[in-house]
Amino acid sequence: MDGRLPPRLVVPAGGIGGARFLRGLLDVAPPGAEITVIGNTGDDIWLHGLRVCPDLDTVMYTLGGGISDERGWGREDETFTVKDELAAYGVEPTWFGLGDRDIATHLVRTRMLQAGYPLSAVTEALCTRWQPGVRLLPMSDERAETHVVVDDPDGTVGEDGQPQRRALHFQEWWVRYRAALPAHEIVLVGAQETRPAPGVLEAIAAADAIILPPSNPVVSIGTILQVSGMRQALLDSPAPIVGVSPIIGGRPVRGMADACLEAIGVETSAGAVGAHYGARTSGGILDGWLVDEVDAPVEIPGVTVTSLPLLMSDPAATGRIAAAALDLAERLHR
Ligand code: GDP
Ligand code: CA
């Protein structure tokens, strides 16, 4: 970002936190800026024969003007007739809220996947309708899904008298059980077989700045980092990497990120999450870290830390956070 050319920005993102931040970033980015989003697909799931990609859709609907602002996910003016009808048939799972409008997206996606298109091409096709203003790439075209190892919720006990462990799909743990079952482990099943989707590595290599939005550090950003070669690509990039803390005052603001952090042994604090990402000078992925004023001072050796209000309460506040991330990246540009 030498001020002469519109910058190329790369943002690895989850769902709600990532999408809201991106809306602010689009408001304040210089004219002509190219924003490439690397979307988390570890949350993806097959439901009733449909391929559902919650985080890609949250970004697409939020930036395309179709999101339910009240819920933060799914479509506005949504109805749930199909969901109710499926429940009337007693068909499981009943705990996932597939809306009628939303189902059209999953029908298009599933049909294209079954016709042999990779997820990246499907996502591009869906985005021709929504025009999100960013280039939205899935982290990978290969399937890899996050699972959470818990004590069997049905209470099954093994021969040793100990509770039997079971791996639940992330969505079942998150949506059905509200992350209330203590997680022994969070695993991206299939991670070894993944490769970054077409365009991802090129975007990282050409980036002027890489911004980590306040997405879940474990099951959004942490998942993206597990795609083969992704972490190394970030380490190799000459662009500054600036992150925004998803934790304010020891709380995840929205959602249950604290349950995910506990599973990987990281304290729920802005400092601990920044230290978990780590300084690039010592093999981590951060050059800069934005924390909320209530969390300052935070010190992470090798990382430039700045504090400002980080609550994305309205578009103006979110724009100020995005602008601060861009300013810090500009300062750290080598
Ligand atoms: P998800 O995939 O829908 O869970 O969304 P993300 O992973 O992109 O983001 C979820 C995270 O956003 C949560 O864990 C929160 O910590 C964070 N978050 C939500 N709202 C805010 C906010 O207003 N400010 C900040 N700093 N973080 C937020
Ligand atoms: Ca998610």
- 62-73 tens-digit pLDDT: 999 999 999 999
What confidence category does residue 333 fall into, taking pLDDT thresholds of 50, 70 and 90? confident
Task: Specify the CATH number for 8-44+192-333; select among 2.40.50.140, 3.30.70.141, 3.90.1200.10, 3.40.50.10680.
Answer: 3.40.50.10680
Q: Write out pLDDT tens, residues 92-117.
A: 999 998 999 999 999 999 999 999 99
**What average pLDDT does the chain have?**
96
CA of 261 to the centre of ligand 1 (A): 13
Which of 25, 247, 253 for a ligand 1 pocket mutation test, highest count of atoms within 8 Å of Cβ? 253
Q: How high is the pLDDT of residue 173? A: 98
Q: How high is the pLDDT of residue 276? A: 98
CA of 270 to the centre of ligand 1 (A): 13
What confidence category does residue 4 fall into, taking pLDDT thresholds of 50, 70 and 90? low
CA of 49 to the centre of ligand 2 (A): 20
The residue whose C-alpha atom lies closest to atom 28 belonging to ligand 1 is 246
Q: Write out pLDDT tens, residues 158-180.
A: 999 999 999 999 999 999 999 99
CA of 55 to the centre of ligand 2 (A): 5
Percent of the chain with pLDDT over 90: 96
Residue 141 has pLDDT above 60, yes or no: yes
The pTM for the full model equals: 0.97
CB-based pocket (< 6 A), ligand 1: 13-18, 55, 58, 214-216, 220, 244-248, 252-255, 257, 310-312
Q: How high is the pLDDT of residue 144? A: 98
Query: What's the average model confidence in pLDDT over 185-210?
Result: 97
CA of 161 to the centre of ligand 1 (A): 39
Query: What's the average model confidence in pLDDT over 175-197?
Result: 97
Residue 332 has pLDDT above 80, yes or no: yes
Which of 44, 60, 220, 258 for a ligand 1 pocket mutation test, highest count of atoms within 8 Å of Cβ? 220
Among the bound ligands, the one closest to the CA of 216: 1
The ligand 1 atom nearest the CA atom of 40: 2
Among the bound ligands, the one closest to the CA of 42: 2
Q: How high is the pLDDT of residue 97? A: 86
Q: Write out pLDDT tens, residues 10-49.
A: 999 999 999 999 999 999 999 999 999 999 999 999 999 9
Which of 216, 260, 310 for a ligand 1 pocket mutation test, highest count of atoms within 8 Å of Cβ? 216
Q: Write out pLDDT tens, residues 265-300.
A: 999 999 999 999 999 999 999 999 999 999 999 999
What confidence category does residue 3 fall into, taking pLDDT thresholds of 50, 70 and 90? low
Residue 147 has pLDDT above 60, yes or no: yes
The neighbouring-strand residues paired with 35 are 9
The residue whose C-alpha atom lies closest to atom 17 belonging to ligand 1 is 246
Q: How high is the pLDDT of residue 1? A: 58
Residue 5 has pLDDT above 90, yes or no: no
Q: How high is the pLDDT of residue 2? A: 56
**Lookup: tokens for 312:** 């994305």
Which is nearest to 176 in space by CA: 97, 95, 99, 255? 95
